[in-house]
Amino acid sequence: MSTTAAPDRTVPVLTRSFAQEEQRARARAAARGRAVNVAARCLVPVALIAVWQLSASLGWVSTTALPSPVTILSAYGELWRTGDLQDALPISLQRAGAGLLIGGLAGLVLGIVAGLSTVAERLYDAPLQMVRTIPFIALVPLFIVWFGIGEESKAALIVGATVFPVYLNTYHGIRGIDRRLLELGRSFELSRPQVVRLVVLPLAMPQILVGIRYAAGVALLALVAAEQINTSSGIGYILNTGNQNQRTDIVIAGILVYAVLGIVVDVAMRWIERALLPWRNTHGG
Amino acid sequence: MAADVVRAERLTKRFGDQMILTDLDLTIGRGEFVVLVGRSGTGKTTLLRIIAGLEDGTSGAVEVAARTSVVFQDPRLIAAQRVWRNVVLASGRGKEAYRAARASLAEVGLENKARQWPKTLSGGEAQRVGLARALYREPDLLLLDEPFGALDAFTRAQAQDLVVRLWRSHRPGVLLVTHDIEEALLLADRVLVLGRGEIRGDLKVGLDRPRDTTSEAFNALKRQVIDLLGT
């Protein structure tokens, strides 16, 4: 008798309702969660700046060693009024940008050729890898001897620092492409340049952009090192004169300009990646 | 090259000591649908790749129609190019090429996917784009390397129908490679049985399409192919 009857027990269940009202409630909860997240992220930096300001105002630290945030803000005001900042920024950006452009292009071309041709790869990959292991900042004294203390040595330093990230990533990006797709060129009678344009560059682009992004960061780093060489212009000049006049507020202001440049470059690169790689975001990601 | 789209003479392929193809002769006429059937590792794909110009033979000669297209087992779409660009590749740009690509895609039932990215397609759809890409070039010879191998049974049956329909409207010579005997007999004018690098049988399939896989004649042919495949 009891074998046919279902056992009188309740089964634990999870209910997921897809009613509009509940979905909206979930969305609201998620938005609240995001707001809390943003607040949590801001908490530590804001607290640090507050402590910093407080310690300066209350005289806990010497204001010549560490000027208060307010003093640094007024240093920006001073730099702006005298026009120093407006003069320096384009010059520094131009140095970094030109170096990145030349170094990046060289890295791109070298990487494409090495990625496609085994002969080229054998010819120069090993030497490039050896040179790559030298920290570029160690080359500063040598570059001063070779290129002098003018713009040439600065440009050479930034170019030298940006070639390798782009070269390496381009080369690996191309080597990572499915060989079967390169075979398409032969099945559909595409020329070498057509294969590069239609298959190689688009598919290697994600990796190439990683290289360019990295190179952009390195360009700023090299810029800082380069602008320590006898500068008479640029952000490095502001730093140096601030240092000589024992104006720590101006030195910190200059350092922060470098930091902001780094953030701006990173955001710009993310934006470029999204614009250039629409095919990668098709999984809703 | 007037009457035939493929002519292979005494074609031999060797990998080291291993003979893949031995003194093979093969002719495919214009508009003829030939299916090459054989077990795995009998050199079917190697033969197709030699005909496609993707590999060289060791000795012998092949003559192949200048306009030849290939459809591979994997769709081989470029993920970074939109569907219609994958169809067009380097032959043309702009509105004109887009319209032509859409026309080709319409033939495989995918004209509304023209502007999508390949990643968003299902396996069967991607393979149909591969077909559209091949036919866009109006080939005299269409090479199909196990094109339905990765598809589920239902999708495969649809794709087989599609290939026959497209072959009827475009009339290229077709060489399709498969290890599926039933598929071979469903599609072919002529079935070639490949074993150990040699063509062991050349069967005319005189049945009307669409073919009934349960008919007496069909099964008689099937037994014949199985016998030829042997061990």
CA B39 to chain centre: 17
Residues from chain A that touch B119, judged by Cβ atoms under 8 A, are 279, 282-283
Q: Give the strand pairing for B59-64 and B4-15.
A: antiparallel
What is the domain extent for residue A50? 17-61
Average pLDDT, stretch A113-134?
A: 92
Q: Using CB atoms within 10 A of its CB, is residue A140 exposed (0-12), middle (13-18) or buried (19+)?
A: middle
* Same domain, yes or no: A73 and A56: no
- Mind listing the pLDDT tens digit for each residue in A58-70? 988 888 888 999 9
| Residues contacting residue A125 through CB under 8 Å, at least 6 positions apart | A114, A171
Domain borders along chain B are 4-76+140-229
Number of domains making up chain A: 2
Check which CATH number belongs to the domain holding A238 and give it. 1.10.3720.10
CB-CB under 8 Å, B76 with A180:
yes
pLDDT given at position B27: 94
CB-CB under 8 Å, B90 with A190:
yes
* Same domain, yes or no: A106 and A243: yes
Q: Interface of chain A against chain B, CB under 8 Å?
A: 180-181, 183-184, 186-188, 190-191, 194, 198-199, 202-203, 205, 277-279, 282-283
CB-CB under 8 Å, B54 with A282:
no
Q: Which residue has the tokens 């039933």?
A: B182
A&B contacts, CB < 8 Å: 54
A5 pLDDT band (50/70/90 cuts)? Answer: low
Query: What is the predicted ipTM?
Result: 0.84
pLDDT given at position A65: 86
Average pLDDT, stretch A136-158?
A: 89
Does any domain span residue A7?
no
pLDDT given at position A285: 35
CB atoms within 10 A of CB A180: 12
How much of chain A exceeds pLDDT 90, in percent?
A: 59
* Same domain, yes or no: A115 and A47: no
* Same domain, yes or no: A177 and A37: no
From the list A190, A205, A278, which residue is nearest B89 (CB)? A190
pLDDT given at position A16: 80
What do you get for the CA distance between the two ends of chain B, in Å?
37
pLDDT given at position B91: 82
Ramachandran class of B168: left when φ > 0, alpha when ψ lies in -120 to 50, beta otherwise: alpha
pLDDT for residue A284 is more than 50: no
Assigned CATH class of B4-76+140-229:
alpha beta
In the three-class reduction of DSSP (H, G, I as helix; E, B as strand; rest coil), residue A117 is classed as coil
pLDDT given at position B141: 96
> Rounded to 5 degrees, what are φ and ψ at A228?
-80, -15
Nearest of A236, A222, A251, A229 to residue A97 by alpha carbon: A222
- Mind listing the pLDDT tens digit for each residue in B122-178? 999 999 999 999 999 999 999 999 999 888 989 999 999 999 999 999 999 999 999
Q: Which residues pair with B144 in a beta bridge?
A: B71, B176
Residues from chain B that touch A196, judged by Cβ atoms under 8 A, are none
- Using CA atoms, how far apart are residues B82 and B207, in angstroms rounded to an integer? 40
Q: What is the pLDDT along chain B (231 residues), one digit of tens a residue?
A: 458 999 999 999 999 888 999 999 999 999 999 999 999 888 999 999 999 999 999 999 999 999 999 999 999 999 999 999 999 998 877 899 999 999 999 999 999 999 999 999 999 999 999 999 999 999 999 999 999 988 898 999 999 999 999 999 999 999 999 999 999 999 999 999 998 889 999 999 999 988 999 999 999 999 999 999 986
| Residues contacting residue B54 through CB under 8 Å, at least 6 positions apart | A183, A186, A187, B70
CB-CB under 8 Å, A282 with B119:
yes
Does any domain span residue A6?
no
* Same domain, yes or no: A75 and A157: yes
A18 pLDDT band (50/70/90 cuts)? Answer: confident
Average pLDDT, stretch A188-208?
A: 93
* Same domain, yes or no: A76 and A48: no
* Same domain, yes or no: A95 and A54: no
From the list A186, A190, A205, which residue is nearest B80 (CB)? A205
CB-CB under 8 Å, B117 with A198:
no
A46 pLDDT band (50/70/90 cuts)? Answer: very high
- pTM tops 0.95, yes or no: no
pLDDT given at position A80: 93
pLDDT for residue A4 is more than 80: no
- Using CA atoms, how far apart are residues B13 and B31, in angstroms rounded to an integer? 27
